Amino acid sequence: MLPLISICVPAHNCGLYIADTLKSLCNQSYPHLEIIVVNDGSEDDTLAQINAINDPRIFVFSINQSGAAAARNVAYSKATGAYIVFFDGDDIIPENFIQLQFKSINFKEDVVAVSGWGRFYQNNIENFKAEFTPDEQLSFKQWILRYWHACNPMTAPGRILMHRSLIDEAGLWDEELNLNDDLEFFTRVFLKANNIVMNPSALLYYRSGINGLSGKKGQKAYHSLYRSVYLSTHYAIQAYNEEGVKASCANMLQSCIYEIYPYSNALIKEIETQVKALGGSALKPESGGITRILNTLLGWKLTKKIKSALNL
């Protein structure tokens, strides 16, 4: 008897994309699904697009706009499945995605499955490009030493299938965070899991270039970004008080500086103090193309100031 899997979807002003997302969820080959959609105070036709899809496995709830984390928590409270996937309202998966994810867990309750992924832009799925995902199992400490050290802990909600007991142990989404909330949430979940199963055979199609939440800037967004990284690194050091883990955490905090600069000097100084306390970071700013050239010629700080002035 296959367990019920609940897919929890927050939806805010995603009327252009939510129909494609829900169709990809309804077309899954895994036979025992429910899809919990929480309309988070949308002001466009999101709700109409959801209601136009006639599938008895879709359950729709509407709340006043409260943010993605709050909408996910509402969806989870309505979900009845033994296994849970949180899914954004603009991403897409192929029809065998959930089946492959569950196969990689194989009824276990103490592991999480992390799928492969790649980006596509706007509505052109033909430009999808998969990122490399190894086929392996990791402890969370190994995840930190590898993905946090490289500042590449891509934890888009749809990538991760987990048993609901892990969520109950870890706690719900932090509703105070409006950016990078997935890092903080999945850090707590991964700490409760015995293994992270990397599953490149299942691919999440991650939509980019639509001015979504991950592209937001400003004081509130930057404070949320930092707060998420601060909490996550704090949890990690509490669990693994080792030099390698501290070095990875320092890199994660240093990446915040590269993202936030030249805004919020007080916040940057606070992060710099924490990086120094962890032993410092040799992480270089991520760059490519003309930015890499400018970084070499002018330094990353001046380059960031120029790009900020030009709104690039």
**80 and 136 part of one domain:** yes
**203 and 237 part of one domain:** no
The set of residues, in sequence order, having a beta carbon less than 8 Å from that of 120 and lying 6+ positions away, is: 126, 127, 128, 129, 205, 206, 207, 208
**207 and 264 part of one domain:** no
**74 and 146 part of one domain:** yes
**104 and 166 part of one domain:** yes
Over residues 16-30, the pLDDT tens digits come to 999 999 999 999 999
* Relative orientation angle of helices 289-298 and 300-309, to the nearest 10 degrees: 120
Domain final position from 176, 196, 214: 214
Provide the pLDDT confidence category of residue 248 given band limits of 50, 70 and 90: very high
pLDDT at 211: 61
Report the CATH number at residue 79: 3.90.550.10
Q: Kindly tell me if the per-residue pLDDT of 213 is higher than 70.
A: no
**286 and 233 part of one domain:** yes
**67 and 205 part of one domain:** yes
Q: Determine the average pLDDT of the residues in 157-176.
A: 98
**64 and 22 part of one domain:** yes
Which of the two residues, 162 and 308, has the higher pLDDT score?
A: 162
**185 and 294 part of one domain:** no
Residue type, 252: M
**204 and 249 part of one domain:** no
Q: Kindly tell me if the per-residue pLDDT of 253 is higher than 80.
A: yes
- Give the domain range for residue 205: 5-214
**64 and 196 part of one domain:** yes
- Domain count within the chain: 2
**208 and 220 part of one domain:** no
